[in-house]
Chain A
Amino acid sequence: MPEVKIIAKNFMDMVASLPAMKLDKLYDNAFICEAILRSLPPLAKKYVLQMLYIDSPITAKSIEVWVLPDGYSKHRVAIDRLIQLRVFTETVDRRKETTYKINPTFQTNLQKLLTHGEVLPREPMPSNITVRLPSVEDLDVYAIGQWECFLLQLISSSSAQAERPSNISSSMMKVFQRGLLSQRDKEAPRLTESGFQFLLMDINAQLWYIIREYISNSEERGVDPADLISFLLELSFHVTGEAYNSNTLTEVQRNTIKDLADLGLVKLQQGRKESWFIPTKLATNLSVSLTDSASRKQGFVVVETNFRLYAYSTSKLHCEILRLFSRVEYQLPNLIVGAITKESLYNAFENGITADQIISFLQQNAHPRVAERIPTVPENVTDQIRLWESDLNRVEMTPAHYYDEFPSREIFEAACDHAREWNGLLWEDSKRMRLVVKAEIHIHMREHLRGQKQ
Chain B
Amino acid sequence: MPSAPTKLYADDVSLLVVLLDTNPFFWSTSSLPFSKFLSHVLSFLNSILLLNQINQIVVIATGCNSCDYIYDSSLSTNPGIENGKLPALCSELLKKLEDFVTRDEQLNKQQSQSLPPTTTSSLLSGSLSMALCYIQRVFRSGPLHPHPRILCVQGSSDGPEQYVAIMNSIFSAQRSMVPIDSCYIGSNNSAFLQQASYITGGVYQKPQQLDGLFQYLSTVFATDLHSRTFLQLPKSVGVDFRASCFCHKKTIDMGFICSVCLSIFCKHHKKCSTCGSVFGQAQSDVASASNLKRKTPET
Taking beta carbons and an 8 Å cutoff, which residues of A are in contact with B?
34, 37-38, 42-43, 45-46, 49-50, 52-53, 65-68, 70-71, 74-75, 110, 113-120, 123, 239, 287-288, 291-292, 294, 296
The segment from B100-108, B227-235, B248-256 that touches chain A is B227-235
Which residues of chain B come closer than 8 Å to A113, judged between CB atoms? Answer: 46, 50
Which residues of chain A come closer than 8 Å to B178, judged between CB atoms? Answer: none
B231 to A239, Cβ gap below 8 A? Answer: no
B87 to A68, Cβ gap below 8 A? Answer: no
Which residues of chain B come closer than 8 Å to A45, judged between CB atoms? Answer: 12, 51-52
| B53, B214, B215, B229: the one within 8 Å of A71 (CB) | B229
Which residues of chain B come closer than 8 Å to A117, judged between CB atoms? Answer: 42, 46, 49, 79, 87-90
Q: Is B289 an interface residue (CB 8 A)?
A: no
What are 10 A-B contacts with C-beta separation under 8 Å?
A: A38-B51, A42-B226, A45-B12, A50-B218, A67-B230, A68-B230, A119-B80, A239-B78, A287-B53, A294-B10
Q: A115-B43, A119-B81 are in contact. Are A288 and B218 (CB under 8 A)?
A: no
Which residues of chain A come closer than 8 Å to B49, judged between CB atoms? Answer: 117-118
A42 CA to B13 CA, complexed, in Å: 9
A89 CA to B103 CA, complexed, in Å: 51
A118 CA to B78 CA, complexed, in Å: 10
Q: A49-B51, A50-B219, A288-B53 are in contact. Are A71 and B144 (CB under 8 A)?
A: no
In the complex, what's the smallest C-beta–C-beta distance from B3 to chain A, in angstroms?
Answer: 16
**Chain B 68-80 near chain A by CB (<8 Å), digits 1 or 0:** 0000000000111
Q: Give the 8 A-B residue pairs with the shortest CB-CB distance, closest first.
A: A71-B230, A117-B87, A42-B12, A120-B80, A118-B79, A294-B9, A114-B43, A42-B227
* Chain A residue with the shortest CB-CB distance to B143: A372
Task: Known pairs A50-B215, A67-B232; list 10 more (Cβ under 8 Å).
Answer: A38-B53, A70-B230, A71-B229, A114-B46, A115-B43, A116-B87, A117-B46, A117-B90, A118-B79, A118-B80
**Chain B 12-37 near chain A by CB (<8 Å), digits 1 or 0:** 11000000000000000000000000
B46 to A49, Cβ gap below 8 A? Answer: no
Which residues of chain A come closer than 8 Å to B78, judged between CB atoms? Answer: 239
B11 to A42, Cβ gap below 8 A? Answer: yes
Q: Is B172 an interface residue (CB 8 A)?
A: no
Q: Is B161 an interface residue (CB 8 A)?
A: no
Q: Which of B138-171 contact A (CB under 8 A)?
A: 144
In the complex, what's the smallest C-beta–C-beta distance from A343 to chain B, in angstroms?
Answer: 37
In the complex, what's the smallest C-beta–C-beta distance from B162 to chain A, in angstroms?
Answer: 34
Q: Is B187 an interface residue (CB 8 A)?
A: no
B222 to A46, Cβ gap below 8 A? Answer: yes
| B43, B52, B230, B231: the one within 8 Å of A38 (CB) | B52
Which residues of chain B come closer than 8 Å to A239, judged between CB atoms? Answer: 78
A71 CA to B229 CA, complexed, in Å: 8
Taking beta carbons and an 8 Å cutoff, which residues of B are in contact with A?
9-13, 42-43, 46-47, 49-54, 78-81, 87-90, 144, 214-215, 218-219, 222-224, 226-227, 229-232
In the complex, what's the smallest C-beta–C-beta distance from B273 to chain A, in angstroms?
Answer: 47
B87 to A66, Cβ gap below 8 A? Answer: no
Q: A38-B52, A117-B90 are in contact. Are A68 and B218 (CB under 8 A)?
A: no
B227 to A43, Cβ gap below 8 A? Answer: yes
Q: A43-B227, A294-B10 are in contact. Are A114 and B79 (CB under 8 A)?
A: no
In the complex, what's the smallest C-beta–C-beta distance from A87 to chain B, in angstroms?
Answer: 14
Q: A53-B215, A120-B80 are in contact. Are A46 and B46 (CB under 8 A)?
A: no
A288 CA to B89 CA, complexed, in Å: 22
A291 CA to B13 CA, complexed, in Å: 12
* Chain B residue with the shortest CB-CB distance to A78: B227
A66 CA to B88 CA, complexed, in Å: 34
Which residues of chain B come closer than 8 Å to A114, judged between CB atoms? Answer: 43, 46-47, 50
Q: A49-B222, A119-B87 are in contact. Are A71 and B231 (CB under 8 A)?
A: yes
| B51, B80, B230: the one within 8 Å of A37 (CB) | B51
| A65, A291, A292: the one within 8 Å of B232 (CB) | A65
Which residues of chain B come closer than 8 Å to A71, judged between CB atoms? Answer: 229-231
* Chain B residue with the shortest CB-CB distance to A121: B80
In the complex, what's the smallest C-beta–C-beta distance from B61 to chain A, in angstroms?
Answer: 19
In the complex, what's the smallest C-beta–C-beta distance from B148 to chain A, in angstroms?
Answer: 16
B79 to A66, Cβ gap below 8 A? Answer: no
* Chain A residue with the shortest CB-CB distance to B11: A42
Q: A53-B215, A292-B10, A294-B9 are in contact. Are A42 and B224 (CB under 8 A)?
A: yes
Which residues of chain B come closer than 8 Å to A291, judged between CB atoms? Answer: 10
In the complex, what's the smallest C-beta–C-beta distance from A206 to chain B, in angstroms?
Answer: 20
A389 CA to B223 CA, complexed, in Å: 45
Which residues of chain B come closer than 8 Å to A67, judged between CB atoms? Answer: 230-232
B46 to A118, Cβ gap below 8 A? Answer: yes
In the complex, what's the smallest C-beta–C-beta distance from A298 to chain B, in angstroms?
Answer: 12
Chain A CB within 10 Å — which of B11, B227, B229, B232 has the most?
B227
Q: A66-B231, A67-B231, A119-B79 are in contact. Are A34 and B50 (CB under 8 A)?
A: yes
A292 CA to B13 CA, complexed, in Å: 12
Chain B CB within 10 Å — which of A42, A113, A118, A294 has the most?
A42
* Chain B residue with the shortest CB-CB distance to A72: B230
B230 to A49, Cβ gap below 8 A? Answer: no
Which residues of chain B come closer than 8 Å to A70, judged between CB atoms? Answer: 230
Which residues of chain B come closer than 8 Å to A294, judged between CB atoms? Answer: 9-10, 13, 54, 144
* Chain A residue with the shortest CB-CB distance to B225: A42
* Chain A residue with the shortest CB-CB distance to B79: A118
Which residues of chain B come closer than 8 Å to A296, judged between CB atoms? Answer: 144
In the complex, what's the smallest C-beta–C-beta distance from A54 to chain B, in angstroms?
Answer: 9
* Chain B residue with the shortest CB-CB distance to A120: B80
A37 CA to B184 CA, complexed, in Å: 29
* Chain B residue with the shortest CB-CB distance to A68: B230
